[in-house]
Structure 1
Amino acid sequence: MFGFQRRELGTPRLLLWLLLLEFWEVGSGQLHYSVLEEAKHGTFVGRIAQDLGLELEELVPRLFRVASKTHGDLLEVNLQNGILFVNSRIDREELCGQSEKCSIHLEVIVDRPLQVFHVDVAVKDINDNPPVFSLREQRLRIAESKQLDSRFPLEGASDADIEENALLTYRLSQNEYFSLDSSTNSKQIKRLSLILKKSLDREKTPELNLLLTATDGGKPELTGSVQLLVQVLDVNDNDPEFDQSEYKVSLMENAAKEALVIKLNATDRDEGVNGEVTYSLMSVKPSGRSLFTLDQNNGEVRVNGTLDYEENKFYKIEVQATDKGTPPMAGHCTVWVEILDTNDNVPEVTVTSLSLPIREDTQPSTVIALISVSDRDSGVNGQVTCSLTPQVPFKLVSTFKNYYSLVLDSALDRETVPAYELVVTARDRGSPSLWATASVSVEVADVNDNAPAFPQPEYTVFVKENNPPGCHIFTVSARDADAQENALVSYSLVDRRVGDRALSSYVSVHAESGKVYALQPLDHEELELLQFQVSARDAGVPPLGSNVTLQVFVLDENDNAPALLATRAGNAGGTVSELLPRSVGAGHVVAKVRAVDADSGYNAWLSYELQPAAGGSRGLFRVGLYTGEISTTRVLDEADSPRHRLLVLVKDHGEPALTATATVLVSLVESGQAPKASSRALVGSASPEAALVGVNVYLIIAICVVSSLLVLTLLLYTALRCSAMPIEGACAPCKPTLECSSAVGSWSHSQQRRHRVCSGEGPPKTDLMAFSPSLPPGPNKEEEGERQEAGSSYRGQVSFLQISPIRKCM
Structure 2
Amino acid sequence: MEQRRRERGRSRGYLAGSVVAVLLWSLASAQLRYSVPEEVTEGTVVGHIAKDLGLDKSTLKDRKYRIVSSGTDPLFRVDQNDGILYVSRKIDREEVCPQSSTCLMNVKTVLENPLEVHYVGVEVLDINDHSPSFPEKTKRLEISENVFPGARFQLKPASDPDSGHFSVQQYKISQNDHFRLEVKDKGDDGKTPILVIKKALDRESAASHSLVLTAVDGGKPPKSGNMNILINVLDINDNAPVFTRDYSAMLDENAPVGTTVIQVNATDLDEGPNGDVVYSFSSSMSQNILNLFDINPSTGEITVTGLIDYEKKDRYEIEVEASDKGFAPLTTEKGVIIKIADMNDNAPEIEVTSFSSSIPEDSRPGTTVALISVNDLDSGLNGKVICSVGEDVPFALSPSIQDKMYSLVTKSALDREKQSHYDITITAKDAGQPPLSSEKTVMNVFILDQNDNAPVILYPLSSNGSAEGVEEIPRNVNAGHLVTKVRAYDVDIGYNGWLLFSLQEVTAHSLFTLDRYTGQIRTLRSFTETDEAEHKLLILVKDNGNVSLSATATVLVRLVEPKEAFAASDVKSSSRADEDNNVTFYLMITLASVSALFLISIIVLIAMQCSKSTDYTSKYLQETNYDGTLCHSIQYRSGDKRYMLVGPRMSIGSTIVPGSQANTLVLPDKRRTSEEVR
| Alignment-derived partner of residue 237 in structure 2 | 343
Identity %: 27
| 2:428 equivalent among 530, 536, 540 | 536
Aligned residue in 2 for 1:559: 452
Indicate if the aligned counterparts of 1:533 and 1:548 stay in contact, CA closer than 8 A: yes
Is the Cα–Cα contact under 8 Å of residues 507 and 537 in structure 2 kept in the other structure?
Answer: no
Matching residue within 266, 273, 288 for 1:373:
266
Does the CA contact (< 8 Å) of 2:262 and 2:302 recur in 1?
yes
Q: Distance in 2 between matches of 1:379 and 1:344?
A: 13
Instruction: Mark the CA change 1:262 to 1:283 in structure 2 (over 3 Å): closer, same or farther.
Output: same
Q: Structure 2 CA distance, aligned partners of 1:770 and 1:559?
A: 17
Counterpart for residue 735 of structure 1: 622
Instruction: Mark the structure with the bigger radius of gyration.
Output: 2
Residue number in structure 2 paired with 1:261: 151
Distance 1:543 1:643 in 2: 79
User: Structure 1 residue 435 and structure 2 residue 303: aligned?
Assistant: no
d(CA) in 1 for partners of 2:662, 2:467:
36
C-alpha contact 1:568 1:681 (8 A) present in aligned 2: no
Counterpart Cα distance in 1 of 2:423 and 2:389:
11
Residues of 2 paired with 1:710 and 1:251: CA distance?
100
Which residues of 2 match residues 244-393 of structure 1 at below 5 A? 253=146, 255=148, 261=151, 286-288=176-178, 306-312=200-206, 340-351=234-245, 356-388=249-281, 391-393=290-292
Query: Kindly tell me: are residues 638 and 427 of structure 1, through their superposed partners in 2, closer, same or farther at Cα, counting changes over 3 Å?
Result: same
Structure 1 782/386 Cα, relative in aligned 2: closer, same or farther at 3 Å? same
1:587 matched to 2:480: yes
Q: How does 1:681-720 map to 2 (within 5 A)?
A: none
Indicate conservation of the 8 Å contact 2:280/2:296, yes or no. no
1:547 aligns with 2:446: no
Amino acid at match of 2:518: T
Query: Could you say what secondary structure the match of 1:148 adopts?
Result: coil
Contact 2:348 2:375 (8 Å CA) reproduced: yes
C-alpha separation in 2, matches of 1:303 and 1:281 = 17
Instruction: Determine which of 530, 543, 550 is the counterpart of 1:652.
Output: 543
- 1:359 Cα offset (Å): 1.8
Evaluate the alpha carbon distance shift between residue 440 and residue 569 of structure 1 in structure 2; reply closer, same or farther with a 3 A threshold: closer
**Which of 507, 521, 526 matches 2:413?**
521
Contact in 1 for aligned 2:179/2:197 (Cα 8 Å): no
- The separation in 1 between residues aligned to 2:574 and 2:468, in whole angstroms, is 14
- Deviation of 1:710 (Å): 10
Instruction: Confirm or deny: 8 A CA contact 1:492 1:535 kept in the other structure.
Output: yes
Mapping of residues 446-461 of structure 1, within 5 Å: 446-455=342-351, 461=357
How far the C-alpha of 1:334 sits from its partner, in A, is 13
Residues 481 and 523 in structure 2, CA contact (< 8 A), matched pair in contact too:
yes
Which residue type is aligned with residue 395 of structure 1? Answer: D
| Residues 1:598 and 2:491 are matched in the alignment | yes
Alignment of 1:627-642 (within 5 A): 627-633=518-524
Q: Distance in 1 between matches of 2:571 and 2:455?
A: 17
Question: Does the residue aligned with 2:202 lie in a helix, a strand or coil?
Answer: coil
Give the 3 Å change call, closer, same or farther, for CA 295–313 of structure 1 in structure 2.
Answer: farther
**Which has the higher mean CA deviation after the structures are superposed, 311-320 or 652-661?**
311-320
Of 519-528 and 713-722, more deviation after overlay is shown by 713-722
Q: Give 1:436 deviation, angstroms.
A: 1.0
1:470–1:336: structure 2 CA closer, same or farther, 3 Å change rule? closer
TM-score (norm 2): 0.54
The match for 1:396 is 295
| Residue in 2 that maps onto 1:188 | 138
- Offset at residue 252 of structure 1 (A): 5.3
In the aligned structure 1, how far is the partner of 2:171 from the partner of 2:547?
A: 123
Distance 1:182 1:773, change over 3 A: farther
Secondary structure in 1 matching 2:339 = strand
Contact map agreement 1:364 1:409 (CA 8 A) in 2? yes
Amino acid at match of 1:546: S
CA distance in 2, matches of 1:746, 1:294: 131
How far apart, in 1, do the equivalents of 2:571 and 2:368 lie?
47
Describe the superposition over 1:483-515 as per-residue Cα deviations: whole angstroms up to 9, x where unpaired.
211122223456xxxxxxxx5474455698665
Report the alpha carbon displacement of residue 587 of structure 1 after superposing the two structures with TM: 2.9
Hey, what's the Cα distance between the residues in 2 that align with 1:471 and 1:676?
Answer: 60
- Paired residues for 1:165-184 under 5 Å: 177-184=127-134
Q: Is the 8 A contact 1:592 1:682 kept in 2?
A: no
Give 3-state SS (helix, strand or coil) of 1:602's partner: helix
1:683 and 1:523 map into 2 onto residues whose CA distance is 38
Q: Which residue of 2 aligns with 1:490?
A: 386
Give a deviation string over 1:15-36, Cα, whole Å, max 9, x none: xxxxxxxxxxxxxxxxxxxxxx
Query: Structure 1's 149 and 282: CA in aligned 2 closer, same or farther, altered over 3 A?
Result: farther
Distance 1:261 1:682, change over 3 A: farther
Residues 216-238 of structure 1 show CA distances to partners (whole Å, capped at 9, x for unaligned) of: xxxxxxxxxxxxxxxxxxxxxxx
Cα drift, residue 561 of structure 1: 0.8
Quick one: structure 1 residues 334 and 547, their matched pair in 2 at CA, closer, same or farther if it must change by over 3 Å?
closer
Note the alpha carbon deviations across 1:363-388, whole angstroms, 9 max, x for none.
44443333222112233322221113
SS for the counterpart of 1:183 is coil
Q: How far is the alpha carbon of 1:584 from its aligned partner?
A: 5.4
Give the C-alpha shift of residue 430 in structure 1: 2.7
Q: Which amino acid in the other structure matches residue 311 of structure 2?
A: E
Can you give the 5+ residue segments of structure 2 that lack an aligned partner in the other structure?
1-98, 104-124, 156-169, 186-192, 216-226, 636-643, 648-658
Is the 8 Å Cα contact of residues 475 and 527 (structure 2) preserved in structure 1? Answer: yes
> What code does the residue aligned with 1:655 have?
N
The question of whether the paired residues in 2 share the 8 Å contact of 1:710 and 1:771 is answered with no
- Counterparts of 2:570 and 2:364 in 1: how far apart (Å)? 44
Match of 1:231 in 2: none
Does the alignment pair 1:148 with 2:101?
Answer: yes
Counterpart code for 2:242? E
- Return the offset for 1:562: 0.8
